[in-house]
Chains A and B, each alone.
Chain A
Amino acid sequence: MVSHDAHAHAAPQGFIRKWVFSLDHKVIGLQYFFLALAAVLTGMFLSLLMRIHLVWPNASLPFFGEIKPETYLSLLTMHGTIMVFFVLTTAPQGGFGNYFLPIQIGAPDMAFPVLNMLSFWTTFLGFLVLIAAFFVTGGAPLHGWTGYAPLSALPSAGPGEGLGADLWIISIAIFCIGALMGALNFITTTLDMRAKGMTLMRMPLTCWAWFITAILGLLAFGVLLSAGILLLMDRNLGTSFFVPLGTVNGVLTGHKGGSPLLWQHLFWFFGHPEVYIAILPAMGLCSQLLSVFSRKPIFGYKAMVYAILSIGFLGFMVWGHHMFMSGMSPYSAFAFSIMTMGIGVPSAIKTFNWLGTLWRGKIRFSSPMLFAIGFVSLFVVGGISGPFLAQPVLDIYLHETYFVIAHFHLIMGVASIFGIFAATYYWFPKMFGRMMNEPLAKAHFWLTFIGAYAIFMPMHYYGMAAGLRRYSQGTEVAWINALAPVQKFISIAAFVTIASQLIFVINLFWSMKKGEKAADNPWEATTLEWITATPPPHDNFGGVTPVVHNGPYEYSVPGTSKDFVMQTDAAVEAKH
């Protein structure tokens, strides 16, 4: 009786063991959530500065003065890094995954509570190191979130490429270690700690998504860690993994023989799975919510599981499509292109299953549902430009333009953020014991939904008209200058959308204190988090271990009195 006794630990006493160095997955989940909230506000503020600079390049801002072009590149780098790592990877997986994966499978905690705590504090340290890059000599790096060498490998390559770039790489390496610890914890928990009756095929799709995401993280972050170590060595020990013979400002760099392509291969071998690390949890959550709020079983549960699996698998086969512009054999490009378009198949399966779930459902348009439907919309619109970019012939034209910005912001950025919003509105009653304010939530949804399209749809046209990305201003280039009104429209839309996020922040903190008290199961959902108290006790189920008899989506089952059957209720599966 050794293995699982080790998981149990007494409820902690005292502030430090309870809220700071907590071993409780729920507290750690909240810590991740608030870390991501701090990060997303920072990242959003950086995008505000960028949008101001793009339209009024010479404007003098309070506290910041005039934003210089190289500062614009620093803002761009830090915006991308903060958003991808500390928001899109941290909130859905580290935050909600940590909080709800053990509860949804009926476990008292994660498999390795100490490791769980270490993974949060490692991630937190990574965030501090990243933010420190703003305050060192030279400022934050300007090599973009992809850190392309040789720019990122040479301290002399520009302002911010000195200590700032070192801190950036160290932060990423620390983040990788935290993410790896988290990933192996998630996988072990899912494999080992499911309650009696919770077979793999009875897990909610959220759990499937967290599980597959963890596998992707386990395999991807180790490679990024290696790439980061090599890059640090190039910068500080004089090796030449990524730097060929060349000069900076007419001075020989002292490096030779390296290959910038090697960095791109290593980075994107991580980078493409990272896209799915960001989006898969949102897909799982969306599947969950569409079923709950349509009062119908999810359409094609097994197909959904296999689609998540195949998206995860294909995610490792397509990294080359980020490198069509970098020079690649046409044969390799063809293979990567075919594989990439292949991802359209499981993605379409998921989309049609979502629509099938909505079809003839008794839909309740609560705020989590609105964000879930918004997710489907953004996923389709953002995804449809994927097959364009997957073709080398088109990609070579579009790759350096805003078309790519529009594509990945819609599908990876805003769609995942909608997942995070939906999760917040859906699980807030369980996490804090109160409901969020519904009218505010609906206002937040409509402003954000319309705002996101107003920002990113025009970017497609801007890109197709050869509006180049990464340029801090286009005033010197006639054809870009002619597109200035589009940029202005986008900026104004961005200001409105950013401002409307304040509604969310206010609603969040106001509802924690003043919101209406929540019932244990306010959404009438079937999964295990709704059978326990609100907020859940230290061991999640108050000393009992639930026994599961049903699948997660037993809604409107014929012959039952209510329109939902809890997973722990007597078995109904045989009846239909």
Chain B
Amino acid sequence: MAETVVRHDIPSVYEPSLFGTYSKKIGMWLFLMSDSLTFGALLYAYSYGRISTAGWPTPFHSESIVNATIMTAFLLTSSLTMVLAVRASVQKDAKMQTLWLLATIACGAGFVILHGREWSNLIAEGLTLPMFPPVPGHEVNAEFANVAKSVPQFPSTFFTLTGMHMLHVTLGIVYLGVVALRKKFIPILLALWLIAWLGTPAYSPFHYGAHVLLLSAIVCAIILWLKPKVYDASDVEVAGLYWHFVDLVWMFIFPLVYLMSARI
């Protein structure tokens, strides 16, 4: 049997697959197609709001833009480490594969942490949604508060688009963690949940958002119970597809939401 790992020979009892590749990969591409329509609908809602609103605000100062640029750098770096993880998996280098996957997770976590900090600052400064509780003991920035009041579509679209993307990055971290460490990742996930839950104040959206981690821990535990298998190179490659897609989505959100709303 040939030991080329990423290309899997299709058993001859089947017709050759239309795309000459294995099922998992086709499944992931199909998921990404539907997910791009999900994001497409959100971007459509954003464009719709932006075009139909006279005087769309451009409130992001250089501080926000610099922060978002660093976040972008984190994500782009994570794409590189992901590619290296896939290469290590093809070369059957289990140790390097795990290390590069963990590096990817670290970059993704850096992105989420920076993003979460930015959200918290914006909410505290008044660029917020009506149902987010006010942050005690923080001075409201008059300009942001005015934007939130006069063009509610601005914070609405901002938090929806970036929030949905943040959710995807978070789930990507869970996904890569399970591929890298399997069962051992579940306790880590639960620890992360507790840190994110107990470490954030009750008025923060992340206080409740942290439960996403608990929910994913439960789902992952069920899936690992149903299919307790060792992940091979194909699983790393498929996980990589997802991760690169999430990066690609950010490459739409960053210019549309940040750069086009920068104060020049």
- A: which residues have CB within 8 A of B? 1-4, 6-7, 23, 107, 111-112, 114-115, 180, 183-185, 187-188, 191-200, 218-219, 221-223, 225-227, 229-230, 233, 236-241, 254-259, 262, 265-266, 269, 545
Contacts and interface: CB of A to CB of B under 8 A. Distances in A.
Interface of B: 1, 8-15, 17-19, 22-24, 26-27, 30-31, 33-42, 44-45, 48-49, 52-53, 129-132, 151-153, 155-156, 159-160, 164, 223, 226-227, 229, 232, 234
Contacts of B42: 226, 230
Given A198-B15, A219-B34, A238 B10 contact: no
Contacts of B27: 111-112, 115, 184-185, 188
B156 A266 contact: no
A239 B23 contact: no
Contacts of B49: 241, 257-259, 262
B233 to A, nearest CB: 9
Contacts of B39: 226
Contacts of B26: 187-188, 191-192
Contacts of B155: 239
- Residue picked from A218, A238, A254, most chain B C-beta under 10 Å: A238
Contacts of A195: 13-15
Given A1-B8, A2-B22, A195-B15, A218 B41 contact: no
Contacts of B45: 226, 230, 241, 262, 266
17 contacts: A2-B8, A23-B226, A114-B223, A180-B31, A191-B26, A200-B18, A221-B34, A222-B37, A222-B41, A223-B40, A230-B45, A241-B153, A257-B53, A257-B153, A259-B48, A262-B49, A266-B45
A238 B134 CA distance: 14
A470 to B, nearest CB: 27
B9 A1 contact: yes
Nearest to A186: B30
Contacts of B40: 223
A259 B223 CA distance: 41
A200 B15 CA distance: 9
Contacts of A239: 129-130, 152, 155-156, 159-160
A484 to B, nearest CB: 43
Highest count of chain A CB atoms <10 Å: which of B30, B39, B53:
B30
Contacts of B159: 237, 239
A239 B130 CA distance: 7
Contacts of B33: 218-219
A196 B15 CA distance: 5
B127 to A, nearest CB: 13
A114 B156 contact: no
Nearest to B219: A118
A196 B10 contact: no
Contacts of B13: 195-196, 545
A187 B30 contact: yes
B22 A241 contact: no
A355 B172 CA distance: 52
A221 B34 CA distance: 8
B156 to A, nearest CB: 4
Contact of B160 (A3, A114, A230, A256): A230
A227 B14 contact: no
A241 to B, nearest CB: 6
A3 B229 CA distance: 13
Nearest to A189: B23
B15 A254 contact: no
B49 to A, nearest CB: 7
Interchain residue pairs A-B with the least CB separation, the first 10: A238-B130, A226-B41, A239-B156, A3-B22, A184-B30, A222-B37, A222-B38, A545-B13, A222-B34, A194-B15
